[in-house]
Structure 1
């Protein structure tokens, strides 16, 4: 078997066999296939596409290129949740204790933030002492004992995907639906859960900018799930403005806790309840999404979700007192209000610019070696559809030094677009693909 022939075959739009796909993934992972040939194949895939079976086979091969977690020792149906990334995306911090409080096991591996998108692992480190690294035995033990554990991704999870993605990133082949879907799903499959709920973001702060593309990606991942025997649901959601009001690690932790107390922002509450309801259905905890929504509301109102959060934080070495005493969480030394001169209704927000504002304050990473400040970020006070009068505060910055506040303010001001006519608040959940 020659890589040349496989490249030629895909260049002509033909379907690759399972042996050909396995040969390529194994060869590129072990270094026997050079970058230039893999680049040529990726470009051929970019233009000719892959069918459902090819995409599923690519996903499975990448998943099996490294460690495949065996979670069979954890009782019950394990349901994983994955978000395609956004700004203010705090859902895992709310979902993990909420779902675990319903006796549905949550065994999740999450990543760190890079660029304008935040990472769940960074946010969890806002709890003093919280350990984001556990041996697999301890990870499983925590889930069996407490119902929940969230840790950083192991370095040997789908190494083929890591290597292929790095090449896609420098060869302009990132934005292909089959390749994106295989990349995401390979890590989810390797992580060992029985079922997967996907939060596919769409809009100015998301990778998929249009609803059409977001639906295509969601559909492709659900089809992969079906092909490999993992029950999968994709919830396509809006990211044309930040989710919730807080952007920044410790600030988002506080907002997540408020949401678990029943006092969170409307959009974050709606999304987490919807995701939880679908996780309950996949786990067999309830029969319908409507029952799942009722159960989520009941767990919030009864305080069981908050109790589970305290238990979870303590079980991973964190200070559970910080759940109730925000003064124990990292905090920025200074704060500043951002005031706009416009009068009108907020018509649009460039979400990526808001993310960049938090990034320059130190809440995110410019590169993998960057050190983040867990206490900095911003709180938004005006979102799409809100009325703004000249002199109103649209956001509050939380920062440690003055060196980047001007840049952050400029990003925020440039992010807002106004209308003289009233604007309807945007739809949050576009569709659910089953």
Structure 2
């Protein structure tokens, strides 16, 4: 029996949508014009929800070639408006992370890059499951606006040099539609669909260089380094086909990044780095300097990664990153009074603006030794369950909830010594009575010395 796909002309622009679905179902490669036809059909009414579900499942089972993924990415990118930076060629950059616990890298990175005279139009996302979202963290600052008009984005990037904002309704509507259907058809965990979703959003930004941080571990989407490597290789190949200079980092996400987990508390930690305060997280600093330094190399603003790292670090030491952050948040709606308070030296004032929860519970080590691991999945779940994340999309986040670690991997700890502080309110604790049990269970102590954590597993450049 001859299949529909075999009898079809692969270059037929007028093939029916069911014919295209059948072609992919039977394992054949879709041509660029056929993918464009399918994506265009999302807006003109030719493609219905049932068609999308069937096509997504066919892609999930049969996979896609590099050529198909590139065509899908471009078609999704072109489904709406795009940003253009003709006057800033050679210096427009961004980074994207697949998400993690305590991952606030974008918040100090964007202003640091702007302080190095780069342009950073950073479209960020909200929390997914236990993973905190950059936009949610930024909204813990009173007045911060994540939804900007295209005109405001252009103004922000032109005057300040950086902005961190949400994807507008005019940008990449196909991705929003496809993602919603993927979520209800069990087709989210597919590399072809993940790659096209990530890169279609990033290619809208008209970038000269992109750094991608693909995480693996207990609290990451990819559970093993091998899975993360496969995804990173696809991202790297397709981004290069799209003409973006790209570097992919594969990083560990079994343990939290930095000392803080939550929303307002992660803004506080980001400010500590930008102020280069004594005791700021070296873990966070190294990742920010590494990824920022790599972007400087990719656009020829630094000759080596070592030089790039130091240029980023210097923006924290000399205060220029903090100055750009101050300008950025004012440009996105924070009053000058509040912005001045946030970048000031009075920690009491900073805490009052960010409004951390007043009720605190200390986690106590149950044995003496060296900290071997801190379960980021458990900590992320605690913050989410207490109200610092969403259990369903309509939930309102309590920005005041968070965890501050007092120790990190490799540090010595004594029995009965505090190793973390949990900030929440009495109502939250009553709703989730297991919080202390789960908190204690997240710490693993070794009787022998433990090497400091090595975050970066592999780099693809």
Q: TM-score category by the smaller chain?
A: over 0.9
Alignment partner for residue 450 of structure 2, among 419, 423, 427? 423
Once the 2 structures are TM-superposed, how far is the Cα of residue 57 of structure 1 from its aligned partner? Answer: 0.6
The 2-side partners of 1:378 and 1:102 are apart by 32
Aligned residue for 2:86, secondary structure, equals coil
Q: Give the structure 2 partner of residue 433 of structure 1.
A: 460
Tell which deviates more after alignment, 210-219 or 113-122: 113-122
Alignment of 1:34-183 (within 5 A): 34-72=48-86, 77-183=91-197
Pairing partner for 1:240 from 254, 271, 278: 254
1:178-193 equivalence runs, <5 A: 178-193=192-207
Return the index of the structure with the highest Cα Rg: 2
SS for the counterpart of 1:7 is: helix
Q: Is the 8 A contact 1:104 1:285 kept in 2?
A: no
Question: Partners in 1 of 2:444 and 2:22 — Cα distance?
Answer: 48
**3-state SS in 2 of match to 1:394:** strand
Q: What are the Cα deviations for residues 351-394 of structure 1, in whole angstroms up to 9, with x where unaligned?
A: 22211111122221222221112222111223333344331223
Are 1:302 and 2:321 an aligned pair? no
Residue among 320, 327, 352 paired with 2:339: 320
Q: Is the 8 A contact 1:75 1:105 kept in 2?
A: no
> Of the candidates 337, 342, 359, which is equivalent to residue 384 of structure 2?
359
Cα-Cα RMSD: 2.1
1:192-213, Cα deviation, whole Å (9 max, x unpaired): 3332111111111111111111
Q: Do the aligned partners of 2:256 and 2:375 also contact (CA within 8 Å) in 1?
A: no
SS of alignment partner, residue 424 of structure 1: coil
Unaligned ranges ≥5, structure 1: none
- Using the TM superposition, name which of 51-60 and 172-181 deviates more: 172-181
Q: Which runs of 5+ in 2 are unaligned?
A: 1-14
1:428 Cα offset (Å) = 0.7
Stretch of structure 1 that moved more, 388-397 or 59-68 = 388-397
Aligned-partner Cα distance in 1 for 2:251–2:75: 29
Match of 1:278 among 287, 294, 298: 294
Deviation digits for residues 288-338 of structure 1, max 9, x if unmatched?
212211211222222222222223233333222222241322221211112
Rounded Cα–Cα distance in structure 1 between residues aligned with 2:54 and 2:152? 43
- 1:218-273 Cα offsets, whole Å, 9 max, x none, are 11111111111122211111111111010111111111111123342121111000
What is the CA–CA distance in structure 1 between the aligned matches of 2:156 and 2:173, rounded to whole Å? 26
Following TM superposition, by how much is the alpha carbon of 1:94 offset from its aligned partner in structure 2, in angstroms? 0.7
The separation in 2 between residues aligned to 1:76 and 1:330, in whole angstroms, is: 40
Q: How far 1:74 sits from its partner (Å)?
A: 5.0
Equivalent residues of 1:242, 1:351 under 8 A apart? yes
Aligned length: 434
Q: Deviations over 1:61-111 (max 9, x none)?
A: 111112222233557521011111111111111101111111111222222
Contact 2:146–2:164 (CA under 8 A) maintained in structure 1: yes
Which 4+ residue blocks in structure 1 deviate beyond 6 angstroms? none
Contact 2:90 2:208 in 1 (8 A): no
**Is the Cα–Cα contact under 8 Å of residues 244 and 267 in structure 1 kept in the other structure?**
yes
1:368 aligned residue (393, 401, 407): 393
Q: Quote the offset at 1:31 in angstroms.
A: 4.0
Match of 2:285 in 1: 269
CA distance in 2, matches of 1:138, 1:164: 27
User: Secondary structure at 1:371's aligned position in 2?
Assistant: coil
Question: What is the rounded CA distance, in whole Å, between the counterparts of 2:129 and 2:136 in structure 1?
Answer: 13
Pairing partner for 1:335 from 352, 355, 360: 360
Which string of whole-angstrom CA distances, capped at 9 and with x for unpartnered residues, describes residues 116-151 of structure 1?
Answer: 111212222233332323322222112211222222
1:377 — aligned with what?
Answer: 402
Q: How far did residue 280 of structure 1 move?
A: 1.2
- Secondary structure of the residue that 1:431 maps to in structure 2? strand
Cα-to-partner distance string for 1:130-173 (whole Å, 9 max, x where unaligned): 23233222221122112222222212322212222222222222
Structure 1 residue 344 displacement after superposition: 4.1
On the 8 A contact 1:241/1:383 being kept in 2, the answer is no
Assess if the C-alpha contact under 8 Å between 2:18 and 2:51 holds in 1: yes
Quote the residue 1:413 is aligned against: 440
C-alpha change, 1:86 and 1:73, in structure 2 (3 Å) is: same
Aligned partners of 2:44, 2:441: CA distance in 1, in Å? Answer: 46
> Which residue is 1:33 aligned to?
47
Distance 2:354 2:29 in 1: 54
Deviation at 1:32, TM superposition (A): 2.5
